[in-house]
Chain A
Amino acid sequence: MSAVDTDLGAPGELSERERRAVEAQLFRVADDEFIQAERYTFWQVRAPTLESDLAISNNAQDELGHARLWYDAIKQFGYSEESLIWEGNPDDFQHSTFVELSFEEGDWADAVLRAYLYDEAEDIRLAALAESSYEPIRDRTSRIQGEEEYHLEHAVSWLERLVNNENGREQLQAALDRLYPYALTMFEPVGDVEADIVDLGIRDRTLEQMRTEWESRVTEQLTELGLDIPDTGPASPTGRDNEHTEEWHDLFEEMTSSYRNLGRDSATKIMTDNE
């Protein structure tokens, strides 16, 4: 099936049903990338070595760049950066609660494992969006895929290093037990829009199919490394339905504090559009 045959057309040409489904897909991917990046920046000037500091900064900036691309696609529906991020309400966000959890200083196993679990999910999601019926999604996906592949390799190479060490393995297992139920929230549905996303060809796989593939990849990789996958379902709240943890509320408050304290009414753009 050629993507062009089923192309939904330009943002202004979508029916209400199509637009609702496209927006739902865009919001979750934009917010996931943004908040995952925001949490990565916690490690800047705090990572174990200068080299790992530089590497996690790269990841953060890649994800921020992706978030920017996705938000630009959302802005085509008339939203602004101000309304999407700075003047919004923390409950407007639809990222999975997995990406909003705070890091403990020094818990590098959490950083490595979180990156790995996220990058596997992102790899699967991007593959499912590559032939999207909505052109702005197809276009962005192909630009982003190369970088995400590198992230995955990097995360796996860190996992291999950590499991070589007794302490490292224990810390990874503890992080896995804590994070796994939250990671599952990445695949949680939010009502009838889910069926539309797939029926309209915006994404070519269901959340359940994606979760099954993710579980199988993650189980194979982590079991091979000697870690035990916890037997558990998704955590609550999931984030996808706009319900979040207290940690997100605190992060949002801090993130938007300068904008509010300065009494800003616009978010500065310093790069030219479409790079």
Chain B
Amino acid sequence: MMDSVMGRAGGILTRRRFFEQLAAVGGVSLAMAGMDALGFGFASASELPPTLTGGGKGAKVIILGAGLAGLTAAYELGKSGYNVQVLEARSFAGGRAQTARKGFVDTDLMGNRQECDFDEGEYINIGPWRIPYHHQSTLHYVKKFGVQLELFNNDNDAAYVYFEKGKGPLAGKPVRKGQIAADARGYTAELMAKVASKGDLDAVLSPGDRETFIAYLVNEGRLKRSDLSYKGTDGRGFDVLPGAGIDPGPGKESAPYAFTDVLNSKAWQVLNSVAGWEQQRTMLEPVGGMDAIPRGFVKNIPDGVIKYNALVDRIQQNPKGVKVSYTDAAGKKAELEGDYIICTIPLSVLKNIRMDVSKPFLEAMNNVAYAPVNKIGLQMKTRFWEEKHWIYGGHIYNDIPGIGTISLPSTNWHGKKGTLLGYYAFGGEAAKISALPPAERAKFAVAQGQKIFPEYAENFETSFSKSWHLDPHSLGGWAEWSDDGRKTAYPVLCEPDGRIYLSGEHLSYLGGWQAGAIESAWQQIAKLHQRVQQA
């Protein structure tokens, strides 16, 4: 059966031809079932934008916000013959997809003005910074606009973990993640294997399964087959590295930590059987900064479509059309009329703008919280993490309040300098650090990083910090839906209120990701288009 339907292109099977042939034989449903069976079950809706056949019929759409959702809507609708106009509060496009590099200016609600003074070529993605391989919607535009990608190291066994709230000799000590993984899983496998071999798990394992289970544990924990013990393994590193000749020759493998020390360290918090769906080990990033994606959109949207420095004051609608009042760059009041609105303004900001929508819609908007989120880029004189510690990208997981993760750049390997992410923290911890002026935030970040790398403070040159909850145009990093809000408010906001359609990461289950913004825009413009075609 498989052979007869498997498509071959010049003798080579391609996935697409395989599914096309399945579709030809059994219809689309069989093809979809086949995709699911093979684990390719990604619905096509999240891979490609909707096809807007039939054109815009002269409809004028006002798009509020030139972040990823607004840019997607403007690009797709404009391309399909709609009359689009975008109002953007900032002086640039991209929304939260911002990259701080030399000359980038940010002023927060507290009046902290920062002008980035990194060296040429150094940068920090203060908003989105990594793209899981399965975010095909984001990658669709990356490809379309010719944005160059590089690998983002999202999991590095050589990176340190540092848990100061643990107990025992490993607490408050930088330890390589691979060592914690080898020991925690090795000892656990040893325990299970020994219990199983005594027959103590026979209630749940058939005799055949028992042997296979033990074989799995030997493999998983790198146990000695003879006595099912864990005595360390080469993967956790060497005290003397193997090399040439007799000396160092085979080298000397490192000894495992005691199981109790590993458990008490709490460092096992970094271990999971498999990466979370959103935290794939394989991630990607645009070369030179995430803002390459919005810049790709802007290059492909006609000049004049996006009006910058336009602050929306009032959003009106009636059965015949919509009207947006805004303040332009010169401080002058202006108005824009149209047929529909796609509003991508974060709900945290939108709730402060008067808008003609129903009461349930307004109440739903108030039902979502936004996350305080902090990031700081620290420019370092040398790449000591690579040179001295052999850590090429990845994260330093830790439990230092206010730090979250420290992350090492996946770009410009072996460059002269480097810019690392000194903290990436959320919630109350982020709120606390954001109350400090920028110089104090940097001082805090450097002092904490020094606990992990002895070279940290002496290499620190300059910083750029961002607190998203203090950004007047974002007022938070991303929407944080409660289970209750998802049930009650979310469905209300996903549907248009009259002629107003909301869109953005907040109206997706990919919250906080660019893919959420893009796919939300795809969904809303498809709905809008259907309505225009029927009008």
Question: A and B: real partners?
Answer: no
A-side residues, CB < 8 A to B, are none
Interface residues of B (CB under 8 A from A): none
